[in-house]
Amino acid sequence: ASNPSTSTDKDASHVYTKVGYYTITLTVSREGTCPQTIQKSFRVNGSIPRADFNVLGSLFCSGKELVFEDKATVDFGEITRIEWYFDDQNPGQVQIDLHPEKRNVAARIYKCQYPVFHSPSSKTLTVRMVVYSGTSCLSEQSKTIVLQASPEVTFDPIPAVCRNVPAFELTEAKEISGIAGMGRYFGVGINAEGKFSPELAGLGTHSLKYVFRADNGCEAEKSQQVMVLNVPVADAGGDLS
């Protein structure tokens, strides 16, 4: 009763609650005589959608992949298009999905990897999501994220070492952008003190990893190989008189 399918208003309105093709009929007359009728058809794709999304995680580092979860809804019909503006100030950070998942399936995941930077200490970006349920029915939502500067590390080659050399401190890796933090080595042969022990590693070529964790929580890592050589045995033969 609150939403009749007919109207005598000059400029009528109607709320549609289902997807489908509809035919609208307009009849005009002069005091009830000489009626003239015209019809037009159109399609209702869905109700006006509601944009919504989550940014997964709590620490956002430059150069790392960020994950966005689609939480948009629509009362009826389906969302037909999603536009992501991962940085409103950067036109290049745009992703358009013309085939979003239906609303009754698991939330869809979108990803973006922002360029790495080492200075300033952080940057604030605005992420905007625009969803459509037709060609003109749309909704959008924006959220701000703070990207942290990421450290930069180098790892020089490690000279080959003999197996009988005592455990020693590795100095080939370091952070070079000036970001405060602490680095550690990982891999076969790294003992509890963080030193490399050729005896513990054993003969052969081993891969070592250096991980630098900045005070802001962001990390950078690089790997390098080290070769452990066998100790030669000298033999001059038997004693002679």
pLDDT of res. 195:
97
If you compute the radius of gyration of the chain from its CA atoms, what whole number of angstroms results?
Answer: 33
**Residue type present at position 96:** I
Residue 235 has pLDDT above 90, yes or no: yes
Q: Determine the distance from the C-alpha atom of residue 43 to the mean position of all C-alpha atoms in its chain, rounded to a whole number.
A: 36
For residue 193, what is the DSSP state?
T
Query: Residue 1: is it exposed, middle or buried by C-beta count within 10 angstroms (0-12/13-18/19+)?
Result: exposed
Residue 159 has pLDDT above 80, yes or no: yes
**Is the Cβ–Cβ distance between 222 and 234 less than 8 Å?**
no
pLDDT in tens, 186-217: 999 999 999 999 999 999 999 999 999 999 99
Q: Can you tell me the distance from the alpha carbon of 131 to that of 74, in angstroms, rounded to the nearest whole number? A: 10
Amino acid 89: pLDDT:
83
Percent of the chain surpassing pLDDT 70: 100
- Cα atoms found within 13 Å of the Cα of residue 43, Cβ hemisphere only: 7
191 in Cβ contact with 123 (< 8 Å): no
Distance CA 195, CA 13 (A): 78
DSSP readout, 78-138? ---EEEEES-TT-TTSEEEESSPPPTTSPPPEEEEEPPP--SSSEEEEEEEEEEESSSS-E
Reported pTM:
0.77
> Which has more pLDDT, 214 or 33?
214
**Cα dihedral 71, 72, 74, 79 sign:** negative
Task: State how far the Cα of 189 lies from the Cα of 162, in Å rounded to an integer.
Answer: 13
pLDDT score recorded for residue 43: 82
Here the tokens at position 198 are 């050729």
Contact 226/208 with Cβ under 8 angstroms? yes
Task: Scan for tokens 């200075």, then name that residue.
Answer: 119
pLDDT at 47: 86
30/88 Cα distance (integer angstroms): 55
Q: Which domains does the chain have, with CATH numbers?
A: 53-148 (2.60.40.10), 153-229 (2.60.40.10)
* pLDDT tens, position by position, 55-87: 999 999 999 999 999 999 998 888 999 999 999
